[in-house]
Amino acid sequence: MRTSGARGTQLANLGLVLGVLAGISMAIGLYLGLVYAPMDAVQGNAQRIFYIHVPMAWVAFLAFFVVFVAGIMYLWKRELIWDQVARSSAEIGLVFTTLVLVTGSFWGRPIWGTWWTWDARLTTTLLLWFIFLGYFMIRAYAGDRGRAATFSAVIGIIGFFDVPIIYLSVNWWRTLHPQAVITLSGAAMPGQMVWALMVCLLGFTLLYAYLMVQKLAIEQAKDKLIDYQFALSEREAEGVTAA
Amino acid sequence: MRDAMGRVSVVVWKDLLTEVRTKELFGGMMIFAVLTIITFNFAFDLTGTGRAASGAGAMWVAFNFAGFLGLGRSIALERDRGSLDGLLLCPVDRGTIFLGKFIGNLLFITLVELISVPIFGALFNLDVIQATLLLVLVLGTVGFAAIGTLLAVMAASTRAREVLLPVLMFPILLPVIIASVRATTMILTHETGDLLPWLNLLGAYDVLFLAISYLVFDRVVEE
Amino acid sequence: MISLPQRPPTSAEEAVPVSRVPRVKIERLSKRYERRGVLRSIDLELFGSECAVLLGANGAGKTTLLRILATLSRPTSGSVTIAGHSSLRSAQAVRAQVGMVAHQTYLYDDLTASENLHFFARMYSVADERSRIDEVLFLVGLISRRDDRVRTFSRGMQQRLAIGRAILHRPALLLLDEPDSGLDREGARVLERILAYHAASGGTVLMTTHDLRLGLTVGNRVLLLENGKLVLDAPASELREEELDERLSRR
């Protein structure tokens, strides 16, 4: 997507750079993770999904943090750019949260023999998914964009404070209520695994930035369209009054 | 400050007086809560030895559902009669208005709970008359009412209204639900060794979300 | 072709204001809802002892303007200053100086008339509450029904009580959005009495109505809103009902 003017070209260039960097680092990271890193002693090759799953989770929570900050800024400044950032990040966050749940499920199946377990991490991610959903639902039903922006900012802020509390409460629920405790990552990881993970994390972060730039351009274009429609209706009103 | 408290009280007084005269909200919520608990008895085995745990869960689910009912209705009433605008016209801090509505909702829901709990205890033979249970009821309901008052106003000004409220609230309320149910179970089974962490969690949640709702309410009612 | 006077600010001379400092100052006020402009750069000054009547077709923006003045709605751009207070920066101070009568009565059906007024007296920090409530009930002719629930009132009586609610805190600015709709005969008399009293004590009134006769009778200044723009601002004495009717039905 192109937005017009110098700003638009800057954004497009930034997007291009980010895209290339993301592509390169993800390619390297995936190679490191899927080929180079040693096979896990306990879990076998199924463990390799870890190199995708963990970075995706990181992106999901990063996206949520951005929604939180942008939400506060919007409530404070009432400037549309903050809402554009928030809703772009929320959409990316929702997608990545979905992916985390799916990859987590696919990872869990061979390891635990079950598609799902109610441990703190998974449960919190599931709740995060629902908070993102609530974010978009209230936007959909809010009516005008000012209300949509304000209400969803509130959901984002409340949700962000809530997620750690959810994690804590589910954790206690499980530990104070004895159940089979399952850990996703074992003891100290060998150096090669750590490297692979780091590169993947970098790659996915760059991917997030790249997607943000693209999405932001789209959202800005949407708002621009509304502005043009407004200008058009103003033009018509002028014509009517002059008559 | 005294002035603000006076205004909060008069908002609460107004809601209480209205409710006493119409019994619109309270009656519906009360019946709904009791019926839900009774239904749960047939859905789960609430007569066996594990009944404290399942019973606590059933009880809190019933209270939450009744709470959604009450919240949705009270806000819809304000909207339909334009009384929210009437409140917003007054030279009163929006946070103060929020507190008034919050306390009103808190009182209604707590009253429903206080009457339901002995009924529940009698139906399922559980030792419910304990001071700590009252504490858990209040702590759990404060969190519910704080977030609920805020989100109900938001949901009421959208097209979807009451339907949206539980969808928004359940994920956010999860810690309160977990903590309340666990604490209640412990109290009912007299195994209160690990009770304190749950109470602390509820307390911290309440303070945090009451503060956020208070601060944000101003922007939420803005047009 | 009808030519109507175009916005000379002669209102000051006509209305014999208490002071030259405007009670209400509206500068380049615009209100936009996403794709649609509702108010377009309104400039207006209202003075004490003025009763301005706001006319316009439905959808012209009259209610929106009143709601912005009442601080129920935020302008998209421009400023509103009432009794020296900015509506954005000192909204509370503005609210204390504004009384609003709208289509919704803002009353609580299950409370009595005096309980309703007691509630609002507290919210507006009315000092001499007891005597003021009695005074207002008397003014709107509801003193005999003070302990009856509003639910038992007729629409006309509810509207009268709504007017009472609006003047309870002695506001400098009275905003009335089609107050004549729903008023009974007694209520119409009450309204005219109150408007006269308010203007005589230096208060400002901004009223919308579809009843041109009422407007030209109680108002001393006529404003016409068309598609969100103020296209006419003239003393009531210079206008005739037929001309206005023509102009309005042209839309």
Alpha carbon separation from B193 to B137, B189, C45 (Å, rounded): 19, 11, 70
The confidence band for B28, taking pLDDT boundaries of 50, 70 and 90, is confident
pLDDT the model gives residue C5:
41
* Distance separating alpha carbons of residues A21 and C102, to the nearest angstrom: 60
Q: Which residues of A touch B167 (CB under 8 A)?
A: 133-134, 137
DSSP label of A34: I
**Is the distance from CB of A128 to CB of A155 less than 8 angstroms?**
no
pLDDT digits (tens, 9 = 90+) for A2-31: 455 677 788 788 888 888 888 888 888 888
Tell if the CB–CB gap between B223 and C108 is shorter than 8 Å.
Answer: no
> Highest mean pLDDT: which of A117-126, A148-157, B115-124, C2-11?
A148-157
pLDDT at position C80 over 50: yes
Token look-up 């209604």 returns B108
Q: Which residues are paired to C234 by β-bridges?
A: C222
The confidence band for C9, taking pLDDT boundaries of 50, 70 and 90, is very low
pLDDT the model gives residue A57:
93
Chains that touch C (3 or more CB pairs under 8 A): A, B
* Distance separating alpha carbons of residues C221 and C237, to the nearest angstrom: 8
Token look-up 């006076």 returns B6
B18 Cβ under 8 Å from any chain C Cβ: yes
Q: How distant is the Cα of C37 from the closest Cα of chain A, in angstroms?
A: 7
3-class secondary-structure state, position A14:
helix
DSSP label of C239: -
C153 Cβ under 8 Å from any chain B Cβ: no
pLDDT the model gives residue C246:
78
**Which residue of B167, B178, B186, B196 to mutate against A (max A Cβ within 10 Å)?**
B178
**Is the distance from CB of A120 to CB of A167 less than 8 angstroms?**
yes
Q: How distant is the Cα of A210 from the closest Cα of chain B, in angstroms?
A: 30
pLDDT the model gives residue B121:
87
Residue-by-residue DSSP string for C38-99: EEEEEEEEE-TT-EEEEE--TTSSHHHHHHHHTTSS--SEEEEEETTEETTT-HHHHHHTEE
pLDDT digits (tens, 9 = 90+) for A179-211: 444 455 555 677 778 888 888 999 999 999 999
Chains that touch B (3 or more CB pairs under 8 A): A, C
User: Of the candidates A144, A146, A237, which has its C-beta nearest C37's C-beta?
Assistant: A237
Q: Which residues of C touch A146 (CB under 8 A)?
A: 34
pLDDT digits (tens, 9 = 90+) for A59-116: 999 999 999 999 999 999 999 999 999 999 999 999 999 999 998 888 888 877 888 8
pLDDT the model gives residue B218:
94
pLDDT at position C240 over 50: yes
Tokens of C70: 């009442």
Q: How distant is the Cα of A205 from the closest Cα of chain B, in angstroms?
A: 27
pLDDT the model gives residue A5:
64
Q: Which residues of A touch B154 (CB under 8 A)?
A: 138, 151, 154
pLDDT at position C10 over 60: no
Is pLDDT larger for residue A119 or for residue C133?
A: C133
Q: How many CB atoms lie within 10 A of CB B26?
A: 17
Q: How distant is the Cα of B175 from the closest Cα of chain A, in angstroms?
A: 5
pLDDT the model gives residue A177:
53
* Distance separating alpha carbons of residues A197 and A55, to the nearest angstrom: 8
B5 Cβ under 8 Å from any chain C Cβ: no
Section A47-65 average pLDDT: 90
Tell me how many residue pairs between chain A and chain C have CB atoms under 8 A apart: 27
What is the DSSP pairing of strand C77-82 with strand C85-86? antiparallel
3-class secondary-structure state, position B192:
coil
B193 Cβ under 8 Å from any chain C Cβ: no
pLDDT digits (tens, 9 = 90+) for B72-116: 877 777 776 678 899 999 999 999 999 999 999 999 999 999 999
Q: Which residues of A touch C37 (CB under 8 A)?
A: 230, 233-234, 237
Is pLDDT larger for residue A1 or for residue B40?
A: B40
Alpha carbon separation from A83 to A77, A220, B10, B145, C98 (Å, rounded): 10, 10, 37, 28, 33
The confidence band for A242, taking pLDDT boundaries of 50, 70 and 90, is low
Section C123-143 average pLDDT: 93
**Angle of helix B2-22 relative to helix C113-123, nearest 10 degrees?**
160
What is the DSSP pairing of strand C204-208 with strand C173-177? parallel
Q: How far apart are the first and last CA of chain B?
A: 27
Least confident of B73-77, C136-140, C169-173, C237-241: B73-77
Strand order in the sheet with C24-33: C36-46, C24-33, C77-82, C85-86
pLDDT the model gives residue A180:
42
pLDDT digits (tens, 9 = 90+) for B104-147: 999 999 999 999 999 888 888 888 788 899 999 999 999 999 99
* Distance separating alpha carbons of residues C188 and C186, to the nearest angstrom: 6
Q: Which residues of A touch B182 (CB under 8 A)?
A: 172-173, 176-177
The confidence band for A139, taking pLDDT boundaries of 50, 70 and 90, is very high
Residues in chain A: 243
Residue of B nearest to A167 (CA): B175
pLDDT at position A130 over 50: yes
3-class secondary-structure state, position B15:
helix
pLDDT at position C90 over 70: yes
Section C156-165 average pLDDT: 93
Section B60-82 average pLDDT: 82
pLDDT the model gives residue A4:
56
Percent of chain A with pLDDT over 90: 50
Nearest to B199 by CA among B139, B115, B112, B133: B139
pLDDT the model gives residue C169:
95
What's the CA angle centered on A120, arms A114 and A126, to 5 degrees? 75
What is the DSSP pairing of strand C51-55 with strand C204-208? parallel
DSSP label of C158: H
